[in-house]
Structure 1
Amino acid sequence: MPFYVAHRLFAAHDRALAADLADRLAIKVGPDRVFLPFCDTDEEDLVAEVKGRRLFELDRDRLGHLDAMIAILHGPSLDDGVCMEIGYAIASGVPVVVLTTDFQTYSMTEAGTRLEFPDPILQAVATRIVRVATLGPSPLPSVPGQSRFKGFQARNAAQTSTAIDTAIDTLLDLPGRVPLPTASPVIPGAAVYVEPSPYLSRRMGHLAESLAGGGHTVVEPQRFTAPDPIAGALADLAAVRAAARLLVDVSGPETPPGAALLIGAALASGVRVAAFQSYPAFTHAHGREPNWRNLMIQYAVDARLSSDEAALSWLVA
């Protein structure tokens, strides 16, 4: 079983960072035990009738059968494909190390608990978090004519190098498969869990009311309002895995990170998932079909819905 390197795919510097990490990990465990998406799915040369779906299938087939995952997440806008992969791995008992060099921490209120990520569910489920938040040491005093930008580049390169090596050491120190973090769900088995988008929460609140008015038992997130956001996040994860269905608003520039993670956990747990998106925006990549969301999200869900009526129909289908 391999080690899976989950990372943002869409820019050269992200792929280069992940390749550096994968190469260093391969030196320690052997190249055949490291899987690097995009690289190892031969994305540039892959030919398939529906290329995006095939890429999703190749990655999903590996996610539940890993020794461990190492996931790279930086900044407040977290890659939804990576978050979905984390959710799938965690729900499959795979330990996950999350690597970040973000120098910010986050909280639900001004004086609230400080968190490593904007959504507390990522901190709640990660087996380990490696956070290297400061630049490397200052270089030697500059000499006349030497660019200060080179010195700053060197400090960032040193920070990245430290983060990668620390994350790999942490990964190799992990135990085997780990029990899923749990909290007892206090929901009926036939409930539908409704996850709003932070970009359009008012509309999703209306949808939850509409579903409840249609006779459905609706469960909504706890983690953003609970006194203990980590406990609330674990309760949300347990509720999703115990629900009959998961309905997620994926509206916004990308699927919100917690929503993406819950989609992955639901898929691994056999819970049917629908995405609610009134106004889709499509992405286009060479050789792929148009995607209305990250392909790991698009192909994890059973249906894409755009109205209250469609949601009600899906729940009885």
Structure 2
Amino acid sequence: MGAHARRAARWAVGRLAAVEGTVASAARRLGVAWAAVWSWVGDAAQQVADDPKRVGPAARPGLDETVTGSAGRLRRRRYVSAAVDAATGQVLDVFDGRDAADVGRRLASQPPQWLAGIEVVCCDPHEGYRSRITRARRDTHLSDSVKIAADAFGIVRLANQALDGARRRVHNETTGHRGRKRDPLYHARKLLLTGAERLDAAGWDKMLAALDAADPADEIRECWVAKEHVRDIFRADDPLDAQQHLDEAIAWCEHPSAPPELATLARTLRRWHTEIATAVRTRTSNARTEAANARINHVKRSARGFRNLRNYRLRILHAAGPKARQPQPVTPIRTRRPSLVA
């Protein structure tokens, strides 16, 4: 490879690593074929993926999924799961699917020493993740003491969905149409999802006025209280206080007069009771996993989707790999020359 080709390869590899374009756009810019650019980028990404120092021991890995193929008339929606170190945000690997069998194949392919170092696995409240991790304690070298932590964001999101579903249902029942700009509930929809501690006096007045005007049976108000109970679980510093908030949230959602949207939330809270308590006790969340998943979605959007899972995985690991530190160029400031010099 000549000097010009090496320079072009370095430029293409750096551009794709920074997710500043696609293989096709880099090929058009350089005036070469797509296969030529991918040979450079693919080799560099394969070196990153095969680097034994890239993945170290991860005591608290997190699992999260993203849609890589939309559903159609003749095809099902396709998911890709990412395993991320919840402590550092390092993308450990990407594998196809999110079902129990997919997670099992991923765990079975890992070295026993790496599996033995896992202490807590953080995941969304998805049964496919939990069932396979529980079974892996028997089938693989995963320790029996490994705990499963439910991601706080996923649990609170379910509470927000219950509140939003109740708001839409009550609005349709009372007005006979979907939310419009001047409707009180539609106008206060974002205030309802905002944390109580973040509302100012004007926000409180606006939200309470909307509930007084368009919530005749106080169903939305009850869902709002349930949402705050769920948020209090993860805001508590003491695990015993968090346990009390969790029990209060379940009791509130299971009350006979509770809206129907809270029934599903109550079943989830009860089914994931142990995992929620583990998340509070160990202070484990998927915050860094969600940040890495945003980077993965950025790679997918930049290429307008992927049909080849191998290329998708290499692009993700390449973009999530270590980057050479480049100092910010300093722009010289040209000062005015004084008109008079003493």
For the superposition of Structure 1 and Structure 2, which TM-score range results when normalised by the shorter chain?
A: under 0.3
TM-score (norm 2): 0.23
Which of 1 and 2 has greater Rg? 2
Tell which has more relative contact order, 1 or 2 (C-alpha 8 A, sep 6+): 2
TM-score (norm 1): 0.24
Say which structure is richer in helix. 2
